[in-house]
Amino acid sequence: MTDPETLSVTIVDGYVDEPAHFGVPPYISTYPRYTAGALVDAGVPREQITYHTIDGLRDDTDRWRDVDEADLMIYLGGMTVPGKYVGGTPAEPDEVRKLAWTASGTSLMGGPVKFGVGDENAGATETERQDLDFDFVAKGDVEAAVFDLVESGLEGFNNRMRDVDEVSRWAQEGAFVVEQHPNHPDHLIAELETSRGCAYRCSFCTEPLYGNPSFRPPPTVVGEVDALSDYGVKHFRIGRQADILAYGGDGEAPNPDALRQLYSGIREVAPDLETLHLDNMNPITIVKWPEKSREGIRIIAEHNTPGDTAAFGLESADPVVQEQNNLNVSAEECFEAVRIVNEEGGWRPGEEPTDAPTFGDDAPRRLPKLLPGINLLHGLKGEREETYERNMAFLQRVYDEGYMLRRINIRQVMAFDGTDMSDTGAEIANEHKKLFKRYKKQVREEIDNPMLERVAPPGTVLPDVHLEYHQDGTTFGRQLGTYPLLVGVPGERALGQTIDVAVVDHGYRSVTAVPYPLDLNAASMDELTAIPGIGSSTAGDIVVDRPYESVADAGLDTTVDLSQFVTTRPLERAN
């Protein structure tokens, strides 16, 4: 029997993306942390646990030695919703097979990959369950499988689910592994699990496969945040749950007291945190229990950081699609939920919460605290051309009636075994690809662009934008958080740094911004001409006539309040 104290273990993170769980960088999911904690709990010394991301293996082939030489190699991954990613590229099936072939020791695969593997991580695809040549596949919880496998001397395990006591213990014991993530410490956001499972049974979703909701008590989540903070994490996302408002209750009704314990407790143990965001909020909860929901939303908006998003799973505004796919909220109900979140969370730092929702010239130039996002899913049973028209009409109504959406997520279904959509598969999505592409373009042009200008008008300050890549003479970056805005800054700046910016223009799902505050005495022509009201001629005059003692000294004749964007740094004077 293998002694746990002698085991060398390599964990490979191929990244996950689930309906209620992010794990593609800059996010680190719960899986590697819980797995590391289970290993320690089973007796494996921390110093014998190595963690690599799939991108880390791609960047440095020498790291594959850790895969080869480990007594136990654990692969964690699986994408059950389609997405596009900037911070990392999820592992493809061939790469996962290579891991199994390379491992000389015992190999174990787990995570949402257990639900199925497709040819690619994309919408309008079908999946099937595969072992990808691993010795073991965890069909229950991978962290429970790891614990049992180590205790058995690498002989085997039962496919069981872990309990609340185990996950609470493993979450804290495995926090140390974040230090081995390439993004640690400054550009890493830790996904937090408050619950899993769902009270509802939508046809396409894998979350109900975890069963009915089960909740971690507030002190256990707070303790995990405390441990992660000790290892340098300052960014957190309470994303691992189907409905944050239902936290700590019966699985459906809100429990404001549990939310207050959770959020105030996090703020107490991590007073210097820089991001506290969430993800899923079920609109049907808000409609059924409006007063308790309002109280819960107020608690969240009081404790979170600006730019937070409550993702609403409307999925379709078409009643035919709603009925055939067991969707739990109608378009009318979802609109009411949008209104309530706007009223309780749509205020901006520097103003009274009772003023929400605010936008326009008089609104403070910061992102609102909490806004709804809308998920729309296509290729579902019963979908027809009218479905696209109804979705468009819903979005137009939200805009026309003066409310805000932080983002609109439009995607095509992925069909997994065990869900009702497995019978239909990707057939409808493939039939409607042309219609889907045309409709998506219409939403981006007619809704996304003006909505983004409402949410983040010119002059809105976005602090701590991490610069990630260059394209066509522009530097692109994002803040850490839930669905962060993609920000384009004129010119090619050094990557990896973090800067404050002010928004100057809007795309469909991105903004153009300049460093904030921009120094008139040092700004480039590209930066100056990006500011509203400053054309190339004025920018040229600014450059020729500088330096300036003050912005007023420049004598700029514009209709825009330039103090929202620019300043002049004190001039060096000779003695």
Which residue, chain included where needed, has tokens 């620019």?
566
What amino acid is encoded at 266 in this protein? I
* HEC-encoded secondary structure of 338-383: HHHHHHHHCCCCCCCHHHCCCCCCCCCCCCCCEEEEEEEEECCCCC
Phi–psi pair at 573, nearest 5 degrees: -115, 140
Q: CA-to-CA distance for 8 and 29, rounded, in angstroms? A: 22
What amino acid is encoded at 42 in this protein? A
Cβ atoms within 10 Å, residue 473? 10
**In 270-318, which residue ranges form alpha helices assigned H by DSSP?**
283-288, 290-303
Query: What pLDDT, on the 0 to 100 scale, is given for residue 196?
Result: 79
Phi–psi pair at 88, nearest 5 degrees: -170, 165
Query: What pLDDT, on the 0 to 100 scale, is given for residue 205?
Result: 63
Query: What pLDDT, on the 0 to 100 scale, is given for residue 415?
Result: 58
Q: CA-to-CA distance for 221 and 237, rounded, in angstroms? A: 12
H or E segment to which residue 319 belongs: helix 319-324
Tokens read off for 6: 């002698």
Domains of the chain, first to last: 1-187 (3.40.50), 460-567 (1.10.150.320)
In 368-525, beta strands by DSSP E? 370-378, 407-412, 414-415, 461-471, 474-478, 486-490, 498-506, 510-515, 518-519
Q: Report mean pLDDT in 10-residue bins for the chain, 575 residues.
A: 91 89 93 98 98 97 97 91 78 92 96 62 46 88 96 92 93 98 95 82 64 87 98 94 89 93 98 95 95 98 97 92 89 97 96 91 93 92 92 97 95 66 68 89 95 95 96 96 94 95 93 94 92 89 89 80 84 54
Query: What pLDDT, on the 0 to 100 scale, is given for residue 416?
Result: 60
Query: What pLDDT, on the 0 to 100 scale, is given for residue 30?
Result: 96
Query: What pLDDT, on the 0 to 100 scale, is given for residue 424?
Result: 63
The full length of the chain comes to 575
Whether the Cβ atoms of residue 207 and residue 18 lie closer than 8 Å to each other: yes
Angle (CA) 193-416-315 rounded to 5° is 70
The 8-class DSSP code of residue 128 comes to B
Tokens read off for 421: 């959509």
CA dist 37 to 70, 87, 160, 183, 572, Å?
Answer: 18, 25, 17, 20, 55
H or E segment to which residue 312 belongs: strand 308-315
Query: What pLDDT, on the 0 to 100 scale, is given for residue 124?
Result: 42
- Under DSSP, is residue 156 helix (H, G, I), strand (E, B) or coil? coil
